[in-house]
Chain A
């Protein structure tokens, strides 16, 4: 089973003006909130706990359990913060969700806020996706107009304000404590834990930070019920999720399916990899997760199975690479991303990603040595588990797994003095070489800032 799609979050994405409140209501929107307002807040928490919903932002922490960590109310404010800072390369689930169905997120925010006793919720949106930001602002406005937000929501006596905040373009702000610092107007860098956000989060008050998809799943759990939700997915990875297929695939896009579906099944629905090519490697959960190959086509995409197979389900960002792709090149691009996005707080990530980027750049251009491969692995070992937050760990995933799976291809770059593959062949569009020189070797001019 599980081979069929289960469009819940994406149920009305194909409707006319799907993002409007009217369309959402026509599709049964805000029934969950009406029901939730009649429930005891504790029962909402219990329902979400029982549903087995796990955080959809990557780590997979049980959502209901997270809510239950909040200390007992002390009369002071408590906050819900929605993490909509979707920035991982390959991950593209929250952005289309908020574009097509922002009201679903807002309904989820309202229900969750009610559950945890919060009367001011924040949605922290990645600043670069301006269109989404505008759409959210309009959606919140519409929800206020219809009384789904604001004072005395639907006559229940419950008040809730929602603030949509645009980030300034930093991958690190997807880390929940860095997000909170950024939201407070500080420099976005991860905080020391403990205290955890549940105890002292936003403005040092108890705070729940959840991913967009997690929160958007809440209304369906309330209306559909725990048993319906648990009927999908696996025992420990219940429910449905958006699987984002990208890369060398015939029909890329978001496929909403129960957890536990396999890439083979998803690829069938997506029309397979590019015509005339074979699958070479893929990421199960975005660029921070160790690579998989065709061997792993039948790994059920749930938290436990992917973990057992040596990777992470992450954000279910399935980036598909066919046999024309140079694995060194792909990994170098990711390494450059991490070097660019490292926040700089801790030594291993700040210095390590800078080093990895340069070594990989040399190897890619045929100027590496065999020794470099060992250095890469050892530097990765010195970053993994040593950095302040998980960003540093993520930066090493594709490198260590890539060398383990494709060592001969790395060596071919060294011995062959360059890339054995044609970059143009892997391109899905007309390819223009980005640069001919290797900046890592030419170096930066003395006295300039940065490299």
Chain B
């Protein structure tokens, strides 16, 4: 036992719990949980020890030696003995009775830190005035706080040609690098994309990709230096590094990229994080390089709008222009990581096709529909109100809000539909959906917020993924799962047609299912002794989590089977949609059968409840149409009008049919950020604000509200405010003009403890029989694809996966093609031709990316996963081409 000084206060001091360690830092007594590193403990009492390699979310490495402190610790007899050398506080766990002296109280520690900093600087270029990191650089800051005023180094600095491009987005200035290995450790420990590693040794040691030029292999070309890009994103210099030429693995980044340490071309979805955690300016992004000085930027916290994770971000802007986005620090959600899509995919909010003024359609003198012309808000509201009133009389108006809404906007759409339009014809699902899914959402998802959280993912012993590609469709959800896997806590299973690279990096086990047979596989878990599912059955228990993706909606009986499985095993079940607004829509009532709070439309008490809050006599009782039915009714003339929010017809299961509906419908009001396929057909276009120009709250897949403030000053209005004004023009008072009003109303409405929608019990359908030359289509979205919200960022697009089709080896043999050769997938609607990547998967299945360049499955083929398609070797093909014969331009 160590002796405690009698001086310690008697009042209020509680003895440390058993797993606490008490020791002193600079004579301050501190109690921390066992296993805490000294550098973390020092932070807790406000002592900042300088550091470079240390990062709280990465394993300690002790490489930079900047955080040296003087340490004494009790020996076996309890005598406190000084350690002979200063210790790296980032690798040293606190032990009871330890005495730590930092630079504040120890001359030795102070000199050690000054010494290390001087050494770090001898080879560091003095280019702070042109370096992107200047002004927010830990090296710069610590050179000021712990460095010498002048350099004693009069010799020759080591230099490198600079910068080299690791991908189209990530650039590396090797001379600035202090070799802290944060980037390589992030890539290996967190993302599992070890695309860069240390190479060479001593002072020549450098971070790098596998580049024969850098490594000095005989006969290799010297490493190419990045020389910038043309405005359209094409590089100015020749190729950098090695584009993938391996025909055996045509999958890889679309732009130029180099081969990572595993020999695969670097295409990490998380590479931008390395730029942010680089403690110097060695890693920069092509998009932000030389664009701004950090001290000229205004930072506003935000929430990423690209997926349903609700990742915290920081929006950095200058004079009304967003220049970059960084990951925010939210330990409960995204920790300190975001995907590259969240980081770099922001230019869409300020592209030239942004709508700035309302537009109304001026009918042609010759009786044609005429052209859209700018109008005042008053005129536009009047026109819309009149048109909607007429359309309501002519059969009703359907509302398609789209899946990207904030809670406030979703609430407004739901209320607008029910109160102003008197209909339940509202559905935010701009994707293949089903009545079964609607029942599933009403039964299981709505009103069950925070039943599964991010933290649960990393602590659950088992996570079963169903129709959910954790990396491509989950973004940082993948990182959290991987954290659990890396920590040895979590085992991942995935019901999917093949093991994706994401699943491999989760050390996951594939439970193979041909699209359409998921219900059969799920029902076999725990009821069949078949080896493929018995491991899952054993692993699924009350602690386990089942994650189901939005794609399962397209499989009849799929969600019903998942519910049965969860009930059978006791496992918790969470639904992870792709879009940011999906969960909010479910919760706030933009489904035809659901009112806010998961109140079933069919429940009279629920209608009374909501009607009272909304101060309306009665709410429409008849169940509404879902999105497909709304469009069909619009097409047939049953519905007189449509109100459409942020929605791309190309995302709908039948883009051509949707377009026909938009063309045919009597009156079309569009609330959009940018000119789109909907606005060009609309009768009245009401511009709304993108997330960066409004305040709001996304509800992430956990059901966690993710509020964000308005980053840019703007005259654009949020959807709820536009809808409020539109209703006003229709003589309906929604009372939703401000977020405060919306929040007050939602709070007043409160939760719902009445009955839920009944669980779905849809039957599975027999998989179709395959004829000769036919296959079952499997498809999902890649994280980086041809989505409209990724437009305007060529560097990001260059890091997306190159689109490939996947078939099994047997299948490829039968077709007489090898990896890299073309394969054509055909339906009566159209055909897609891509290079093939032979993949271990079931025979008779072909996989395509849903919406990548050259592979717009819904638009071109008009089908979705589970459909039977014709497959053949491409007659003449080397590169990806699309034969789009849907007649539309989108």
Contact = CB atoms under 8 A, between A and B. Distances in A.
Nearest to B203: A354
A358 B202 contact: no
Contacts of B815: none
Given A344-B198, A450-B204, A451-B203, A351 B156 contact: no
Interface centre among A187, A385, A386 (most CB of B within 10 A): A386
Given A359-B155, A388-B62, A343 B202 contact: yes
Given A382-B112, A440-B156, A351 B123 contact: yes
B767 interface: no
B202 A340 contact: yes
B160 A348 contact: no
B63 A358 contact: no
A350 interface: yes
Given A192-B91, A447-B159, A388 B119 contact: no
A152 interface: no
B828 to A, nearest CB: 53
Contacts of B85: 385-386
Interface stretch (B64-72, B535-543, B648-656, B769-777): B64-72
Nearest to A188: B201
B594 to A, nearest CB: 52
Interface in A342-379: 342-348, 350-355, 358-359, 362, 375, 378-379
A429 B185 CA distance: 50
B91 A382 contact: no
B784 to A, nearest CB: 31
A347 B203 contact: no
Contact of B64 (A347, A355, A451): A347
B697 to A, nearest CB: 43
A444 B159 contact: yes
A341 interface: yes
Interface centre among B156, B197, B201 (most CB of A within 10 A): B201
Nearest to B204: A450
Contact of B201 (A344, A359, A375, A382): A344
Given A342-B202, A344-B201, A450-B158, A385 B86 contact: yes
Interface size class of B (residues with CB under 8 A): 35 or more
Interface string B97-127: 0000000000000011001101110110000
B372 to A, nearest CB: 56
A223 interface: no
Contacts of B203: 339, 342, 344, 350-351, 353-354, 450-451
Nearest to B222: A449
Nearest to B179: A344
Contacts of A189: 198
A347 B63 contact: yes
B161 A449 contact: yes
A87 to B, nearest CB: 13
A365 to B, nearest CB: 13
Nearest to B85: A385
A351 B152 CA distance: 13
A378 B81 CA distance: 26
B119 A382 contact: yes
Contacts of A192: 60-62, 91
A358 B204 CA distance: 15
A448 interface: yes
Nearest to B156: A443
A449 B160 contact: yes
Contacts of A359: 155
A382 B216 CA distance: 32
Contacts of A350: 179, 202-203, 205
Given A344-B179, A344-B201, A382-B112, A354 B158 contact: yes
Contacts of A446: 159
A351 to B, nearest CB: 4
A86 B179 CA distance: 28
A227 interface: no
A259 interface: no
A382 B159 contact: no
Contacts of A353: 202-203
A345 B119 CA distance: 13
A262 interface: no
B103 to A, nearest CB: 14
A268 interface: no
Given A351-B119, A382-B116, A346 B155 contact: no
Contacts of A342: 201-203
B879 interface: no
A165 to B, nearest CB: 19
B66 A347 contact: yes
Nearest to A382: B115
Given A354-B122, A382-B116, A345 B63 contact: yes
Contacts of B115: 348, 378-379, 381-383, 386
Interface in A407-424: none
Nearest to A388: B62
A225 B119 CA distance: 51
Contacts of A387: 65
Contact of B119 (A187, A352, A385): A352
B214 interface: yes
B176 to A, nearest CB: 14
Nearest to A172: B201
A444 B216 CA distance: 17
B178 interface: yes
A375 B202 contact: no
Interface string B198-223: 10111111000000001010000000
B149 interface: no
A362 B119 contact: no
Interface string B78-92: 000000111000010
A406 B173 CA distance: 42
Contacts of A444: 156, 158-159
A133 B686 CA distance: 79
A381 B86 CA distance: 12
A236 to B, nearest CB: 20
A347 B119 contact: yes
A344 B119 CA distance: 13
21 contacts: A187-B197, A189-B198, A192-B61, A340-B202, A342-B202, A344-B200, A344-B202, A344-B203, A347-B63, A351-B119, A351-B123, A353-B202, A355-B155, A381-B111, A383-B115, A386-B68, A386-B115, A386-B116, A388-B62, A444-B156, A451-B159
Given A381-B111, A446-B159, A451-B159, 20 more contacts: A189-B198, A192-B61, A339-B202, A342-B202, A342-B203, A344-B179, A344-B200, A344-B201, A345-B179, A347-B120, A347-B178, A348-B65, A350-B179, A355-B153, A375-B152, A381-B115, A386-B115, A448-B159, A449-B161, A449-B216
Which 6 interchain pairs have the tightest Cβ spacing?
A: A382-B115, A344-B205, A385-B85, A358-B155, A351-B119, A342-B202
